[in-house]
Copies of this chain bind each other. A is one copy, B any other.
Amino acid sequence: MTIATVSFIGSGNLATHLAKAFFRNGIRVNSIYSPNFSHAATLADTVDAKAAKDIKAIAPSDLIVICVTDSVIQDVSNALNSQSFVVHTSGSTSAEILRGHQNYGVFYPFQTFSKNVELDFSEVPVFIEANSDSNLLALQELALAISRKVTVLDSQQRLKLHLAAVFASNFSNHMYSIARDILSKADLPFDILNHLIQETTTKALQSDDPAKGQTGPAVRNNLNILEQHKEILADKPLWQKIYTFVSNSIMERETERKNGTFQR
């Protein structure tokens, strides 16, 4: 079976990038449904699809892609025809949530998506899972139409991958955000950090273990500086707690690394 037509439930960042990638690569997008009709209509316009006014009104398609926040996946699934082949796109939700359908799976593009930032989907890893070998093959073929990096991953591993991504992407972005706010209070511009941030990232990506390249007062066990920094953060209790626990974790990891007690 080849998936030639898809429909979307949802019209957020992920749905937008995914629908565009399908459209550009010759997969027909039939319908887009979103509780917010004008959102759905905007996206539908750009990919030559129809916006559906009701979830029951989406056109029959080889695959229905659910791109909604995790907590409503179950409701959406229940609202869809159980004969349809459906996938969700969530990192932390088991494929089994869709087991009310004869054909189901997961299609998880592994990226941080912002609506207004164009990205080259061919470099975005896509992780797939399905309830049967033939469905898995169909999802693989579809994924390969838009990405060069397609991997089969079960729900347990995907959950851990998602957790790792939260640290590597969401949390590192929040570290940038806190840094920006500290600079802003000191009347210094955020772009003063550009070169440092780029160099840190480049170094980490060239390494098989970023812990080996850890720098800063915590890994040097420079307790005087840690105290000075915590003092500056006295008026921001959450930032102070983050400072304390991340520093402790850096020191713990460094001790394990030096003693060779860290496994893998």
* Residues of A near any B CB (own CB < 8 A): 13, 69-71, 92, 110-114, 117, 119, 123-125, 149, 156-157, 159-188, 190-201, 203-206, 208-211, 213-220, 222, 224-225, 228-229, 232-233, 238-239, 241-243, 245-246, 248-250, 252-253, 262, 264
Contact = CB atoms under 8 A, between A and B. Distances in A.
A168 B189 CA distance: 13
Given A112-B200, A232-B163, A125 B195 contact: yes
A157 B185 CA distance: 10
B190 A225 contact: no
Nearest to A93: B225
Contacts of A173: 200, 203-204, 210, 213-215
Contacts of A170: 214-219, 250
7 contacts: A113-B215, A124-B195, A159-B232, A170-B214, A170-B216, A190-B209, A194-B205
Contacts of A211: 174, 177, 180-181
A114 B211 CA distance: 12
B71 A200 contact: no
A160 B188 contact: yes
Contacts of A123: 195
A220 B174 contact: no
Contact of A216 (B166, B204, B218, B246): B166
A164 B177 contact: no
B177 A160 contact: no
B197 A246 contact: no
A139 B147 CA distance: 52
B224 A70 contact: yes
A86 to B, nearest CB: 20
